[in-house]
Amino acid sequence: MQGGRVREALVVGIFLFAGLAVLGYLLGSSALRIKQFERTVTVKGLAEKEVPADVAVWPIQFTGADNDLVALYAALERDTAKIIRFLQASGFEESEISVAAPQITDKMAQQYGNGEKAELRYAAVQGVTVYTGKPTAVRVAMNKLVELGKQGIVFSGGGYQGSTQYLFTKLNELKPEMIEEATRKAREVAEKFARDSDSRLGKIKSAQQGQFTISDRDSSTPHIKNVRVVSTVEYYLSD
């Protein structure tokens, strides 16, 4: 009776030991496979595209001066009307043209005891802005602005506020194509790395789309934009 129980316990122990051994082997094999899958490579893919701007913001600033404030306002109105007629003749709609209130400076009120009297007491800066989806028309009209200068209008365009801005607003139309291109280029880099390291390229572990940037192609052609995106992709590697 006692011997039978000992044999039963021994058999159970043998099966238990064998089961643990098999389990240990399986776990070890799985760990090796998991470790192999943890080999990865992280690469970047760049996509760039040159596109023309589709919106232009053209601020036109001009100045005037007079000792008579009423006469100065009248002169500003005449010059503003000339500019608007010029812009409409250049193909711009009334809805694309806006006129800002003039900025008047009283030079007499700004004297600081130097005793010098300004030749013309009042000075003014007036602005007319064109916001349009016709950037090419803006560039053509800018070259003809000298015609108004010959009519006695004094233009001032210094500083950032006086510079023409060219914008690209159709980024969403480019995103799918550019993301696909950036991802394809990232895979090409990863495949070359895999070949050089005697490995095989596996599935994507993670992917990160970079931020899109829009910049001028160069300082001389702000109406041509460079759109850029970088995608970062991590791939599994296997032997």
State pLDDT tens for residues 38-73. Answer: 789 999 999 999 999 999 999 999 999 999 999 999
Q: Is 182 helix (H, G, I), strand (E, B) or coil?
A: helix
pTM: 0.75
pLDDT band at 78 (very low <50, low <70, confident <90, very high): very high
Neighbours of 184 (CB within 10 A): 12
pLDDT band at 91 (very low <50, low <70, confident <90, very high): very high
Residues listed for the chain: 239
Superfamily of domain 39-52+168-239: Protein of unknown function (DUF541), domain 1 (3.30.110.170)
User: What are the residue boundaries of the structural domains of the chain, listed by start?
Assistant: 1-38, 39-52+168-239, 55-167
What topology does CATH give the domain 55-167? Answer: Alpha-Beta Plaits (3.30.70)
Arithmetic mean of pLDDT, 11-21: 51
- Give 65's Cβ-side CA count (13 Å radius): 10
Q: How far apart are CA 193 and CA 75, in angstroms?
A: 71
Q: How far apart are CA 198 and CA 201, in angstroms?
A: 10
